[in-house]
Amino acid sequence: EAEVAQSPRYKITEKSQAVAFWCDPISGHATLYWYRQILGQGPELLVQFQDESVVDDSQLPKDRFSAERLKGVDSTLKIQPAELGDSAMYLCASSFAGGAYEQYFGPGTRLTVT
Amino acid sequence: AQSVTQLDSHVSVSEGTPVLLRCNYSSSYSPSLFWYVQHPNKGLQLLLKYTSAATLVKGINGFEAEFKKSETSFHLTKPSAHMSDAAEYFCVVSQAAGNKLTFGGGTRVLVKP
């Protein structure tokens, strides 16, 4: 069964450092999402891509976060500089298209900022 | 705007007894509603979804949920809990026309032997 892949699974970094996460969606899925899940809370959408274009980044802290999906396949989420409050699980999801299609989630990257 | 409230942050049940997880939603549109489960160190998995068809929705692993528009609720139930049901459960709403998911705060389920 096809799955969404994410790496690394765990990342520890010091504040003010740069950190990057990678996501490989299910093959053929045009829509890709990045979520942040703070411990004890539900996931919150950071950015949504349709192919290589951003369709929603209203909740992305653009002063320090950036996301790209250059060829419309895999994607990278970057934080620079990292802050203590960025400690969270970063989840990637993909779906065949937007609308009512089911989103499939990867295992996430757990980030700890010290 | 849309929002979801999960009324219990923790639920503890004995194996073999019924499970009830409560969810209320708010949406300006005809909503699509979902329940996801998250096991430790695993990705979120879809249990079931409501998209304006039958109001009683059956999902995987014996779970079902009932959409009640008058009560703006979408409670999740299972007749008999299994040890493997111990996990965190999220109620989720999305706009019918789009796919932006809004998650509730989650309910952690503990199953006692």
Is the pLDDT reported for residue A70 higher than 90? no
Question: By the CB < 8 Å criterion, does A61 face chain B?
Answer: no
> Coil, strand, or helix at residue A112?
strand
B71-105: pLDDT as tens digits: 999 999 999 999 999 999 999 998 755 568 899 99
A41 contacts B51? CB cut-off 8 A = no
Residue B71, CB-side half-sphere exposure with 13 Å CA sphere: 10
A92-107: pLDDT as tens digits: 999 988 766 788 999 9
B-chain residues near A42 (CB < 8 A): 4, 90, 92, 103-106
A107 contacts B42? CB cut-off 8 A = yes
Question: By the CB < 8 Å criterion, does A101 face chain B?
Answer: yes
pLDDT bracket for residue B43 (50, 70, 90): confident
Q: E strand or H helix at A64, and its extent?
A: none
Is the pLDDT reported for residue B48 higher than 90? yes
Q: Which of B8-17, B42-51, B104-113 has the lowest mean pLDDT?
A: B42-51
Q: Are B85 and B19 in contact (CB under 8 A)?
A: yes
Question: By the CB < 8 Å criterion, does B96 face chain A?
Answer: yes
**Among A59, A103, A109, which would you mutate to test the B interface (most chain B Cβ atoms within 10 Å of its Cβ)?**
A103
Question: By the CB < 8 Å criterion, does A25 face chain B?
Answer: no
Chain A and chain B share a number of CB contacts under 8 A equal to 52
Find, in chain B, the residue whose alpha carbon is nearest to that of A3.
Answer: B43
Provide the 8-state DSSP code for A103. P
d(CA B6, CA A85) in angstroms, rounded, equals: 24
A24-69: pLDDT as tens digits: 999 999 999 999 999 989 999 999 999 999 999 999 999 999 999 9
What are the residues facing B45 on neighbouring strands? B37
Question: By the CB < 8 Å criterion, does B86 face chain A?
Answer: no
